[in-house]
Amino acid sequence: MNENSFLIDNATIVLADRVQRGWAAIADGRVVETGEGKAPERGEDFAGDYLIPGLIELHTDHLESHYVPRPKVRWNTMGAVLAYDAQIAASGITTVYDSLRCGSDLDGGGLGGDLMQLAEALETARRGDLFRAEHLTHLRCEVPSPDVTDSLAAFAELYPVHLISLMDHTPGQRQFRDLEKYLIYYMGKRGGSVEEFRAQMDARVAQNGAHSAVNRPKVIAFAREQGIPLASHDDTTLDEVAQTIEEGVALAEFPTTLESALALREQGIAVMMGAPNFIRGGSHSGNLSAVESAERGCLDIFSSDYVPGSLLMAAFQMPDRVAGIDLSAAIRTVTKAPAVAAGLHDRGEIAEGKRADLVRIALAGGVPVVRRVWREGVRVL
């Protein structure tokens, strides 16, 4: 058999609509057949381990943790990119949207100025076939930033863009509607005095008024012209939901209130919540609990956000924590649902003709352990 053609036997296979004990045949990097019971010929014996589709991550900024491992430290870009990719693959993720900040921070604390260096390293690794996972690009466009539209245009001239999110972290709205929570969050990350941060908050509010109203429609127009899917971010009020709908957004990232999540879901917009939020039992910034969102039927997709390994943990915990959710439905939140939202119709489930992006999972004390990973039938871990 070719490198990307093989047979899996004695596996607990998580299909899109059910779980079955059986086998799966892979040929030329695609799933060609699955069945229950004993395989028609000898294959790799899974000894009952789970076989699930490769996970699809639409929004993670975890690359930043490898690139800036300590405050004011910038690591070698290629070294950071490859270490990040290894952790992504080891978490069972076979398709990842690298979430890169587009637009500089007013206070210089973000990584908007490093966008092109990171993009160059990602593209070099992609062209050199150095990656285990498939890496696509998600630009987090900070619409209050004065240079966001210029940065977007410059990036798109050199590199592909596969998803754009409309970000606005202005104090007093969306994720940081509560100014005290904003103060606690950013002072915890960066240090400094209360007086300094209050001055920065005032400056951010002024900047928002000067730039957002101009930049937001420009970013939306660019995405439409290029056929790039749009995501909203931190929808909080019904007015913001109405704006999201008017803007033609396909995906709502991390709505901060139950009211907004329910309204988005009612309009057919896929709702994404953080897997760390679900595992911890609440948002680290005091916003909507992912558990409550799931219980109310308005959680379609998990994102690992800042902890890649949280995707698998959340999916395997979900059936025990949310009534009416079985394992197939839980695994869909990290496979098929994000694939559909992003228009990736060739992956996200174990089915005939789909890409053989596959993960072998064992459980250790209830914790999912990644034992093998294949991308398009080629073992990468």
Per-residue pLDDT of 6-50, as tens digits, reads: 999 999 999 999 999 999 999 999 999 999 999 999 999 999 999
pLDDT of residue 313: 98
Q: Which amino acid is at 369?
A: V
273, 297 Cβ separation under 8 angstroms: no
Domains of the chain: 1-53+349-381 (2.30.40.10), 55-346 (3.20.20.140)
For residue 57, with 0-12 CB atoms within 10 Å meaning exposed, 13-18 middle and 19 or more buried, which class applies?
buried
Q: How many CB atoms lie within 10 A of CB 80?
A: 20
pLDDT of residue 246: 96
pLDDT of 108 over the 80 cut: no
Of residues 108 and 113, the one with the higher pLDDT is 113
Note the pLDDT tens digit of each residue in 62-81: 999 999 999 889 999 999 99
* Paired strand residues for 60: 98, 305
Q: In angstroms, rounded to a whole number, what is the distance separating the alpha carbons of residues 292 and 182?
A: 23
Q: In angstroms, rounded to a whole number, what is the distance separating the alpha carbons of residues 238 and 179?
A: 20
DSSP labels, 177-242: -SHHHHHHHHHHHH---HHHHHHHHHHHHHHHHHHHHHHHHHHHHHHHHHT--EEEE---SHHHHH
% helix / strand / coil in the chain, to the nearest 5? 40, 25, 35
pLDDT of 197 over the 90 cut: no
* Paired strand residues for 98: 60, 137
| Phi-psi sector, 293: left (phi>0), alpha (psi -120 to 50), beta | alpha
Residue 283's pLDDT band (cuts 50, 70, 90) = confident
pLDDT of residue 176: 60
- 3-state SS of 127-166? HCCCCCCEEEEEEEEECCCCCHHHHHHHHHHHCCCCEEEE
Note the pLDDT tens digit of each residue in 324-350: 999 999 999 999 999 999 999 999 999
pLDDT of 109 over the 80 cut: no
pLDDT of residue 173: 59
pLDDT of 118 over the 70 cut: yes
pLDDT of 59 over the 60 cut: yes
Q: In angstroms, rounded to a whole number, what is the distance separating the alpha carbons of residues 16 and 327?
A: 9
Of residues 230 and 287, the one with the higher pLDDT is 230
Mean pLDDT of 278-295: 90
pLDDT of 186 over the 70 cut: no
Q: In angstroms, rounded to a whole number, what is the distance separating the alpha carbons of residues 230 and 325?
A: 28
pLDDT of residue 170: 66
Q: In angstroms, rounded to a whole number, what is the distance separating the alpha carbons of residues 142 and 216?
A: 9
Tokens representing residue 320 in the block? 């025990």
Tokens representing residue 239 in the block? 């007015």
Q: In angstroms, rounded to a whole number, what is the distance separating the alpha carbons of residues 103 and 259?
A: 30
- Among 153-157, 207-211, 368-372, the range scoring the smallest mean pLDDT is 207-211
Average pLDDT along the chain: 91
Of residues 134 and 111, the one with the higher pLDDT is 134
Note the pLDDT tens digit of each residue in 138-166: 999 999 888 999 999 999 999 999 999 99
Quick one: which of 81, 77, 62, 248 has its CA closest to 164? 248
pLDDT of residue 178: 58
pLDDT of residue 104: 83
Question: How many residues comprise the chain?
Answer: 381
Note the pLDDT tens digit of each residue in 76-98: 999 999 999 999 999 999 999 99
The C-alpha torsion from 20 through 358 and 369 to 293, rounded to 10°, is -80
pLDDT of 261 over the 70 cut: yes
DSSP labels, 313-356: HHHHHHHHHSTT--HHHHHHTTTHHHHHHHT-TT-SS--TTSB-
